[in-house]
A and B are shown apart, each in its own frame.
Chain A
Amino acid sequence: MLSYILRRVLYAVPIALAVSLLCFLLVHIAPGDPVNAIVPADAPQAVVDQIRAEYGLDKPLPVQFGLWLLKVVQGDLGRSLATGRAVTDDLFVAVQNTLRLSLIAAAIGFAAGTLLGAIAGAFRGSWIDRVAVGLAAAGVSVPHYWLGMVLVIIFSVTVNVLPAMGAGPGGSGDWAWNWEHMRHLVLPAVTLSVIPMGIVTRTVRGIVAEILNQDFVNTLRGKGLRRGGILLHVAKNAAPGTLAIMGLQLGYLMGGSILVETVFSWPGTGFLLNSAIFQRDIPVLQGTILVLALFFVSLNLLVDLMQTALDPRIKRA
């Protein structure tokens, strides 16, 4: 067990390195000289050369990667070309905002999905099952950026009870858990929650239906255990698989919130990424993607380890 944990953690290191390499290369798959993204087209050659040297772009690629990685490890992601601020500063605020949004969306989606999935799995083939399956299919098929617009039309334009954009009265940096701020969170969080809702519903439904078909459930029934008691056994058996799916979904929410953040002007990583793309602000683009991907790698690792620890059926040596 211990050696498994150690090996799993060690295996995450080359993955993280490869992910960093991919983020680094993003700049170089872009068409044209990366310097052109920094200096204006009519800049004199001397300035171009100076910038090239300043950013280390005159060195061979592997050396550039090494230097970049060395800085990244020290927590230096460079400076934004658009604002001149350190990328980590902007990213720090943005990650917090995205994390807030994703966690609330995950909580809504997981709760609704677990409930729907458990009911659907327990009453397979009934009308309630069909409703749950339909909702789940709609949840994973709906373009959530469109759903966001629909919710804005209903709750901000027609009824006017919830704000359509932003993260609160004070801009992006001063979050507080009060209604004044939280009402800004409602629409984007609900919009974002439909995907995990759909996927968790499908997963839980499948797992519950499968467990209910197993022999031990029949034995429990035969012994005279009531619904509630059986439910406890089913929940215990379904938990590890469900948690694994949920962990991955949280990662997908963090990485996939860009569309919803754009719709609601939510000042998170997606919003940052979006503006970086259009200003061709390469350091911000690189840094944001790197941080999100590394977060996803760690989350994967955590889910794996947790599943091993929680599920005695998985024997890993």
Chain B
Amino acid sequence: MSSTAMSTTTAGLPLAPQPVASPGYWQGVWKRLRRDPVTLACGGILLLMLFAILAAPLLAPADPFQTSMLRRLRPVGTPNYILGSDELGRDMLTRLLYGGRLSWFIGITPVVIAFGVGGLLGIVAGFAGGWVNMLIMRVTDVFYAFPSVLLAVAISGALGAGVFNAILSLTLVFIPQIIRVAESTTTSVRNLDYVEAARGSGAGAMSIVRVHILPNVLGPIFVYATSLISVSMIIASGLSFLGLGTKPPEAEWGLMLNTLRSAIYSQPLLAMLPGLCIFVTSMCFNLVSDGLRAAMDVRN
């Protein structure tokens, strides 16, 4: 990353020309991100949400599993039920806070695992070339023959409902996609002249990967992975919506959306809340990923 720690404070006035150290790449990225209000706002919303769901036990006004046959489907704004209550009389705000935990967990975990596994396999395929590349990429092609949602539904449909199965199926959906990006980036870097020069001067494979390949490919792979989080959240909650992911009485946004479907005639606003949470989260992840991509693109 940055090679020097020299600060360039000049109080706004152009003083005598000093030898200004070229700011590191990541400093540049941060500088560009700071000027991007949309990305900052979305990042802020995400951080706020993350804080809220992590602190759910402290923030939640009620017990997420405490049902009440007498207080079912209270509208939004009822005293003691700020966001109303669901079809079993549980406090909606509490359920949304706790539900976010599972939705975020099932949405993000597959992308994190796929980033590790897929990134590794893709870099190996791209760097090794030959039959190793052939093997990895042809297997990837097979998984690519399924549309993402279908593959996720097929695998978790066969495995049965459950958080673990949902995460497993989504991980299998995303690994091939990350492999493809990692492989193509690595292949293009591997053929650059300076890598050739390093090889010519006797550098071993491991040190070439560590010093020359990794720093150049991890950024693009990471940005691509962040763009998958939004899709992952939608499919993850979608699986629960179908009854495949989380099982009741657990709180999860997709599952809540499903169980509240019967209430769209009596309490439409209430029934919309879990979906709105998924939408806002997914949208923010999407826009943050876009901002990150733009900020990390040196050509801009």
In the bound assembly, the distance between CA atoms of A255 and B147 in angstroms comes to: 6
Chain A CB within 10 A, most for which of B154, B234, B237: B154
Contact pattern, A 137-150, Cβ under 8 Å of B = 1, otherwise 0: 11011111111011
Range for the number of chain B residues in contact with chain A: 35 or more
The answer to whether A29 and B142 have CB atoms under 8 Å apart is no
Chain B residues with Cβ under 8 A from A29's Cβ?
A: 155, 158-159
Chain A residues with Cβ under 8 A from B264's Cβ?
A: 149, 152-153, 157
The answer to whether A149 and B242 have CB atoms under 8 Å apart is no
B194 located at the interface, meaning its Cβ lies under 8 Å from any Cβ of chain A in the complex: no
Given known pairs A141-B230, A149-B271, the reply for A289 and B154 (CB within 8 Å) is yes
The answer to whether B158 and A252 have CB atoms under 8 Å apart is no
A189 located at the interface, meaning its Cβ lies under 8 Å from any Cβ of chain B in the complex: no
- Chain A facing B: main interface SS: helix
Residues of A within 8 A of B (CB-CB), count:
48
The answer to whether A273 and B241 have CB atoms under 8 Å apart is no
B265 located at the interface, meaning its Cβ lies under 8 Å from any Cβ of chain A in the complex: yes
Instruction: Tell me the nearest residue of chain A to B227, going by C-beta.
Output: A140
The answer to whether B145 and A19 have CB atoms under 8 Å apart is yes
B175 located at the interface, meaning its Cβ lies under 8 Å from any Cβ of chain A in the complex: no
- Chain B facing A: main interface SS: helix
**Closest-CB distance, B237 to chain A (whole angstroms):** 6
Q: How many A-B residue pairs have CB under 8 A?
A: 133
The answer to whether B158 and A285 have CB atoms under 8 Å apart is yes
Instruction: Tell me the nearest residue of chain A to B143, going by C-beta.
Output: A22
The answer to whether B279 and A141 have CB atoms under 8 Å apart is yes
The answer to whether B145 and A15 have CB atoms under 8 Å apart is yes
Report which of A254, A277, A278 forms a contact with B147, defined as CB distance below 8 A. A254
Question: Which residues on A are within 8 Å of B, measured CB to CB?
Answer: 15-16, 18-19, 22-23, 26-27, 29-31, 137-138, 140-147, 149-150, 152-153, 157-158, 251-252, 254-256, 258-259, 262-263, 273-274, 276-278, 285, 289, 292-293, 296-297, 300
The 5 residue pairs across chains A and B that have the minimum distance between CB atoms = A146-B275, A255-B147, A255-B150, A256-B149, A141-B283
